[in-house]
Amino acid sequence: MLAIVAPGQGAQTPGFLTPWVENPVFRDRLTWLSAVAGLDLVHYGTEADADTIRDTAVAQPLLVASGLLAALELFPHPADAFDQVGAVAGHSVGELTAAAGARAITAEQAMVLVRQRGNAMAAAAQQTPTSMTAVLGGDRDEVLAKLEQHGLTAANDNGPGQIVAAGTVEQLAAFAEDPPAKARLVPLSVAGAFHTQHMGPAVEVLAGLARSVSTHDARIPLISNRDGQVVHDGREVLKRIVTQISSPVRWDLCMETMLDLGVTGMLEMPPAGTLTGIARRAMKGVETFALKTPDQLDDARAFIEKHGGRTHLDTNPTWRMLVAPAKGTFHQTADLPEGSSIAPDTRVGAVQGRQDETAITAPYGGTIVEWLVEDGDLVSPGQPLIRLHPEGVNA
């Protein structure tokens, strides 16, 4: 099974798009997305220096655009991806790239959202001096306890030995004077404490925009970086894109879900290297491919052919489906036979995992055409549970 992932802010380097824009088709597409974003992304991806592209309002649109356009080079007919990609995921802002790749939102919607996301997060960061520090090594429980002691948030949990602490400059300074045992601290050159409560104002901005965004159910299983759950409903995908701005990124859980799904190959969109590097340490046995330059495209296509294949997700848009968000045991709500109609937000069951139970609700309602699992069945992430027809909904 193939997973395609998109990196987050910090992966960009000066001139990383230079070899890509030598292709006139890629350059024209980037010019179009530049018009949507209101930024000269050709300039920022080829000529701007490191300080310029570190700016949140520049970095985020640049990253999303580069990932989307590289995906189009791999899949000139996007529907081809639906038969080959088993899952998509994005780290932080990369989730917008993933959502557009899964067709939950359009590329243009993604660029508008990321433009406003970057501007709003940059503005929120100016309200209070905040920053982030990578914590490398140390005992996980001890690291988390020390962060709590200093009022810090584990803004990114990237797997064993890789946690990013975020908070005020004063909190981070005190943390540096009192670090966890056997851990190395690396201050990050970022504009603020992303994925913490300090980004609350940015959440409000994006939430206002999201109310006018039309969505579609994801055509490829999308793994949410908030909790590693597989999300299928387009409105839920959009909701998570908004709320993740102030929520920690749990990339460790995303990788666990990929392993649960049976992923054998991970391909990272440009500017690639960060997520494949983490995977090599945390996902033993999974082959990785970091797509950095266009001269790798033929090898990337061979990698896709090697690992790609259809998933059990029925992407026929005639039907609406509910899928399991995680692995566990499915427990069906009683008195919901096939042929009955259910109202929006009806609970149809729950998936009991190792630690938590996740309720399954039908956000759009419909007629139950077919139960695809039975009460007590073990289910995997993204596995279809119930097929609904949009007609016959009880208001």
Confidence of residue 294 (pLDDT cuts 50, 70, 90): very high
Question: 286, 258 in Cβ contact below 8 A?
Answer: yes
Q: Picking from 87-91, 112-116, 319-323, which range would have the lowest pLDDT averaged per residue?
A: 319-323
How confident is the model at residue 393, as a pLDDT? 39
Confidence of residue 394 (pLDDT cuts 50, 70, 90): very low
Strands in 162-168's sheet, in edge-to-edge order, are 183-187, 130-137, 162-168, 153-157, 249-250
How confident is the model at residue 282, as a pLDDT? 92
Does position 56 have pLDDT exceeding 50, yes or no?
yes
Does position 395 have pLDDT exceeding 70, yes or no?
no
Tokens, residue 273: 């290297």
How confident is the model at residue 321, as a pLDDT? 81
User: Under CATH, which architecture does the 320-389 domain have?
Assistant: Beta Barrel (2.40)
Name the average pLDDT for the chain.
91
How confident is the model at residue 311, as a pLDDT? 63
Q: Where in the chain is the domain with CATH 3.40.366.10?
A: 2-124+197-307
Does position 353 have pLDDT exceeding 80, yes or no?
yes
Residues 244-290 pLDDT 10s: 999 999 999 999 999 999 999 999 999 999 999 999 999 999 999 99
Q: What is the mean pLDDT of residues 286-298?
A: 97
Q: What is the mean pLDDT of residues 13-24?
A: 96
Q: Nearest CA to 46 among 7, 16, 67, 77?
A: 16
Angle subtended at Cα 241 by Cα 5 and Cα 73, rounded to the nearest 5 degrees:
35
Does position 307 have pLDDT exceeding 70, yes or no?
yes
Cα 57 to chain centroid distance, Å, stands at 19
Please, what is the end-to-end C-alpha distance for the chain in angstroms? 40
How confident is the model at residue 129, as a pLDDT? 93
How confident is the model at residue 172, as a pLDDT? 96
Choose, from 34, 66, 92, 247, the residue flagged as catalytic. Answer: 92
AA identity, residue 280? R
Q: Where in the chain is the domain with CATH 3.30.70.250?
A: 127-187
Does position 94 have pLDDT exceeding 50, yes or no?
yes
How confident is the model at residue 271, as a pLDDT? 95
Confidence of residue 319 (pLDDT cuts 50, 70, 90): low
Plot region of 137 (φ>0 → left; ψ -120 to 50 → alpha; else → beta): left
Question: 132, 193 in Cβ contact below 8 A?
Answer: yes
Q: Nearest CA to 114 among 220, 253, 244, 13?
A: 244
How confident is the model at residue 392, as a pLDDT? 42
Does position 355 have pLDDT exceeding 90, yes or no?
no
How confident is the model at residue 309, as a pLDDT? 82
Does position 100 have pLDDT exceeding 90, yes or no?
yes
Question: 45, 62 in Cβ contact below 8 A?
Answer: yes
Half-sphere exposure of 375 (CA within 13 A, CB side): 9
Q: Where in the chain is the domain with CATH 2.40.50.100?
A: 320-389
How confident is the model at residue 312, as a pLDDT? 58
Confidence of residue 80 (pLDDT cuts 50, 70, 90): confident
Confidence of residue 160 (pLDDT cuts 50, 70, 90): confident
Q: Give the other-Cβ count within 10 Å of 370's Cβ.
A: 13
Q: What is the mean pLDDT of residues 61-86?
A: 91
Q: What is the CATH number of domain 127-187?
A: 3.30.70.250
Confidence of residue 295 (pLDDT cuts 50, 70, 90): very high
Cα–Cα distance for residue pair 336/368, rounded to 1 Å: 8
Q: Is 195 a catalytic residue?
A: yes
AA identity, residue 163? I
Does position 364 have pLDDT exceeding 60, yes or no?
yes
H/E stretch holding 247 reads: none
User: What number of helices (H) and strands (E) belong to the chain?
Assistant: 14, 19
Question: What SS3 state is found at 374?
Answer: coil
Residues 172-223 pLDDT 10s: 999 999 999 999 999 987 889 999 999 999 999 999 999 999 999 898 999 9
How confident is the model at residue 78, as a pLDDT? 77
Q: What is the CATH number of domain 2-124+197-307?
A: 3.40.366.10
Report in angstroms the alpha-carbon separations of 30 from 26, 38, 67, 164, 297: 6, 12, 11, 32, 18
Choose, from 91, 150, 195, 232, the residue flagged as catalytic. Answer: 195
